[in-house]
Amino acid sequence: METLILFFLLFPFFYLLLSAWRMHRRREQLPPGPAPLPLVGNLLHGGATLYDTYPKFWKKYGDVFTIWLGPSPVVVLNGFKTIKEALINYSYQFGERGTMPIAARLGDGYGIIAVNGEHFQQTKRFAVMTLRNFGMGKRSMEERVQEEAQHLIQAIEDTADGPFNPKALLGQALNNVINLVVFGRRWDLDCKDQDFLEFFRIINSIFEFVRGPLGLMYTILHKIINHLPGPHQKVFQDAERVKSFIKEEIHSHRKTLNPNSPRDFIDCFLIQAEKEAGVKNSSFFFDNLVATAFEMFIAGTDTTASTLQYSLLVMMKYPHIQDRIQMELDEVIGSDRLPGIADRSQMPYTNAVVHEIMRYLDLVPLSLPHQTAEDINFKGFTIPKGTNVIPLLASALADPEHWKNPHQFDPENFLDEDGKFCKQEALIPFSIGKRICPGEGLARMEVFLFLTALLQKFTFRPANPTDTFNLMVLRRAFRKQGLSYHLTASPRTERRGALIK
């Protein structure tokens, strides 16, 4: 009995000793970085908030360093030049998806986000082509976004010029764009439909879980937490309810499918599945459609809605920027029609502001994890096969080699001396290479069309004239519980509702 008691007393000590020895051996094979502690790694050194602490690590260890999230090492790539070299020049070696326990469980091993191999290639290629309007019916993607912008304008007009919180309206509007794409229909923004409200609530709860401390702990210790009770289990149960709803939609689409007139993404997928019936290793099967549709809501709603929410903050913080965009809108478009994508090339200042918002907001500072497909010698370091790698997008968006004032909001970053719009290759909010976000084109379109439609119709001001906004601080609110504020939207003309047909 005494021997057993002694064993249980000494076991934790020897386990920690063994963990420290294993970490030491693996550190010899990896790029330098802060010394990890057994079990917790660098969590106490700021590893959990790498988007805030990376500058000191970058300065101390260079463009490639290693941090430990719990017992697992992660190689971090810093600066645009290094990220581009890795993801473009060594696209195969760095092209695998890294460990993503939450996305893997939500997608059941299917979809795009957390998978590798041929299924990833086929599904992503199809999704990108479909979102570019291949086989999407009579209405273009642009028309779908404009339609939802009209409904958003009407919903804001219904606030009767009083203060309101734009968070829910913007979230529902962006959710409706994905509804139109995936299901071919939308819900009213003042909808009381319980299915829609529950659907919307669950999507938001998933993001709150992913962004919160419990999501971080699940990512690090998922093998243990999977078997424990807690709020995370409710999140995954709710996700299954959303997928059940998607499954019902797929069955309904099958009954009414017209191969010659696809209505939405589900129809396009089902048509392709019919074409590839009997094809070995085809990715067009039921479970993959469920997972891909589910991921489109996860990836396509919150991030774009957050960008628009932040954009309105910028307009209120800098009224002169809002005024200048509205002058450009008046000169190029007027008030008789909604802005279109073709107008973007004629609106250099507006285009520059939109790009600067995406740069400065830095909404996704850490790229989704990559993983090395083979041993690779990179920048003088040997990175073993199977190592998780994080390209730090924030370091590119604030790279002093590419931006004059990286920590200030400045649309001039995208304007030349003649006031013409100029692209900047270091603007990579959607990442680059094989794993670039497949919804990049749609997201860029949505931000431009929604923001210009709103500014064409309204002038936005703080609900309280004395309110001030620290944009540098508030951009990190999205990494926690999101951003919440009130504003007023004053009609710019008396022709209220003229754009709503």
Same domain for 359 and 392, yes or no, is no
Higher pLDDT, 331 or 494: 331
Asked if residues 368 and 100 have their Cβ atoms less than 8 Å apart, the reply is: yes
**Model confidence over 255-269: pLDDT tens digits?**
999 998 888 999 999
> Are the C-beta atoms of 467 and 119 separated by less than 8 Å?
no
Q: Please say whether the dihedral angle defined by the alpha carbons of residues 345, 348, 354 and 356, taken in this order, is positive or negative.
A: positive
On the 0-12 / 13-18 / 19+ scale of CB atoms within 10 A, 152 is: buried
pLDDT at 343 over 90: yes
Helices 302-317 and 440-457, axial angle in degrees (round to 10): 40
Checking phi first, is residue 378 left (phi over 0); if not, alpha (psi -120 to 50) or beta? beta
Higher-confidence residue of 242 and 349: namely 349
In a domain, 14, yes or no: no
On whether both 265 and 312 belong to a single domain, the answer is yes
Q: Tens digit of pLDDT for each residue in 61-96?
A: 999 999 988 778 999 999 999 999 999 999 999 999
pLDDT of 421: 96
Percent of the chain having pLDDT more than 70?
88
Q: Are 65 and 36 in contact (CB under 8 A)?
A: no
What is the band of 135 on the pLDDT scale with cuts at 50, 70, 90?
very low
**Rounded mean pLDDT of 134-145?**
70
Q: Which of 108-112, 205-209, 291-295 has the lowest mean pLDDT?
A: 205-209
Residue 413 identity:
N
- Which of 45, 44, 58 minimizes the C-alpha distance to 391? 58
Alpha-carbon gap, residue 482 to 306, rounded angstroms: 8
Name the domain count of the chain.
Answer: 2
The CA-atom distances, in angstroms, between 465 and each of 156, 199, 278, 368, 493 are 20, 36, 65, 39, 22
The length of the chain, given as a count of residues: 501
Q: What are phi and psi of 74, to 5 degrees?
A: -135, 125
Is it the case that residue 46 has pLDDT exceeding 80?
Answer: no
* pLDDT band with cut points at 50, 70 and 90 for residue 29: confident
In this prediction, residue 68 carries a pLDDT of 85
Same domain, 485 and 350: yes
Q: Which residues contact 378 (CB under 8 A, 6 or more apart)?
A: 64, 85, 86, 90, 93
Domain with 42 in it: 21-99+365-397
Mean pLDDT of 308-323: 96
Distance CA 149, CA 267 (A): 24
194 has pLDDT over 90: no
Please report the pLDDT score of residue 481 as a whole number.
64
The answer on 266 and 379 residing in a single domain is no
Q: Do 414 and 383 belong together in one domain?
A: no
380 and 430 belong to one structural domain: no
Q: 397, 418, 445 — which closes off a domain?
A: 397
Average pLDDT, the chain: 86
| Range among 200-204, 295-299, 419-423 rated most confident | 419-423
pLDDT at 498: 40
Do 152 and 37 share a domain, yes or no? Answer: no
The pLDDT score that the predictor gives to residue 35 is 83
State the number of CA atoms in the 13 A half-sphere of 343 facing the CB.
Answer: 20
CATH of the domain at 58: 3.30.43.20
> Can you give the pLDDT at residue 391?
96
Pick the closest to residue 451 from 251, 310, 317 (CA basis). 310
User: What distances in angstroms separate CA 60 from CA 226, 255, 301, 478, one per listed residue?
Assistant: 37, 61, 37, 28
| Helix (H) or strand (E) segment spanning residue 458 | strand 458-462
* Domain assignment of residue 500, yes or no: no
The residue ranking higher by pLDDT, 16 or 494, is: 16
CA distance 189 to 192: 9
**DSSP SS3 for 54:** helix
| Domain assignment of residue 479, yes or no | yes
- Answer with the residue of higher pLDDT: 481 or 111: 111
Nearest to 122 by CA among 273, 259, 224: 273
Tokens representing residue 479 in the block? 């990494």
DSSP 358-400: HHHH-S--SPPPEE-SS-EEETTEEE-TT-EEEE-HHHHHT-T
Flag whether 105 is in a domain: no
> How high is the pLDDT of residue 411?
97
Query: What pLDDT does residue 499 have?
Result: 42
* 393-446 per-position pLDDT tens digit: 999 999 999 998 899 999 999 999 999 999 999 999 999 999 999 889 999 999
- Asked if 207 contacts 299 with a C-beta cutoff of 8 angstroms, the reply is no
Please list, residue by residue across 13-41, b when 16 or more beta carbons sit within 10 angstroms of its beta carbon and e when fewer do. Answer: eeeeeebeeebeebbeebbebbebbbbbb
Q: Residue 225: its pLDDT value, please?
A: 87
292-330 per-residue burial string, b: 16 or more CB within 10 A, e: under 16: bbbbbbbbbbbbbbbbbbbbbbbbbbbeebbeebbebbe
User: What is the reported pLDDT for 129?
Assistant: 87
Question: What pLDDT was estimated at residue 3?
Answer: 59
Q: Evaluate if residue 461 carries a pLDDT over 60.
A: yes
- Do 382 and 252 lie in one domain? The reply is no
Give CA–CA dist 445/159, Å, rounded: 26
In a domain, 157, yes or no: yes
Tell whether 150 and 126 lie within a shared domain. yes
The model's pTM is 0.89
- Comparing 370 with 6, the larger pLDDT belongs to 370
Q: Which residues, 6+ apart, have CB-to-CB distance to 112 below 8 Å?
A: 120, 123, 124, 127, 292, 295, 438
